[in-house]
Amino acid sequence: EESLEVQARMLRVHWVPLESNPDILTGFARKVGLPSAWEFVDVLGMDPELLAMVPPGCAAVTLLFQSSPRLQSYKEEQHKRIVKQGQVVSPELVYLKQYVGNACGTIACIHCLANNAKAVGLPDASPLGAFLKKISGLSPEAAGELLADASELHQASEASAVGGQTAAPQVGASVDHHFVAFVEQGGDVYELDGCKAFPVNHGPSQGDLLGAVARIV
């Protein structure tokens, strides 16, 4: 459990939410180190024909959804099941707890890039590369706390948030949508939601991350 001091501090830290827009997500990712050969794109639907429109080589997936009592109930049941049954989590997985308000889109992007740093060629000297070095070996809780002080990542997120197609909400605004990320490590698909107690292993990707995520959601 997090200390009351950490909880109180993080209640005061809020960022402007990122819009669910591939240009916005790519813009943020480029600012923190993503090479130009990679980008975020829209997934227009879960039908095989629509999934086939996504360029090959999908390395990660972000999902934005509206919060609801039903989803909260599912989340609680999932938590109880995993605590009871246990799960395998790759030691290579990078996972941050979310303590910064409205930063779920930013954290989803970070989760996507951090778990594919070698694959995409993320420079060690980039803002995100430097942050990943700083949090290496730390717990998800400690890594989440350090994000609040990561000024370069904060500045990149804020600059990206104001460039959306819709007016960016104010800092600290209450939003009822939430971002999560799906990545692959060691052949398994992981759901990375900084508001959950731990990452969720959804099982083998069978060599098709996007198809596996479509079946999960």
| Residue 178 a catalytic site member | yes
Helix/strand/coil (H, E, C) string of the chain? Answer: CCCHHHHHHHCCCECCCCCCCHHHHHHHHHHHCCCCCCCCCCCCCCCHHHHCCCCCCCCEEEEEEECCHHHHHHHHHHHHHHHHHCCCCCCCCCCCCCCCECCHHHHHHHHHHHCCHHHHCCCCCCHHHHHHHHHCCCCHHHHHHHHCCCHHHHHHHHHHHCCCCCCCCCCCCCCCEEEEEEEEECCEEEEECCCCCCCEEEEECCCCHHHHHHHHC
Q: Is 109 a catalytic residue?
A: no
**Of these residues, 79, 178, 195, 202, which one is catalytic?**
178
User: Which residue in the list 14, 104, 111, 154 is annotated as catalytic?
Assistant: 104
Q: Which residues are catalytic?
A: 104, 178
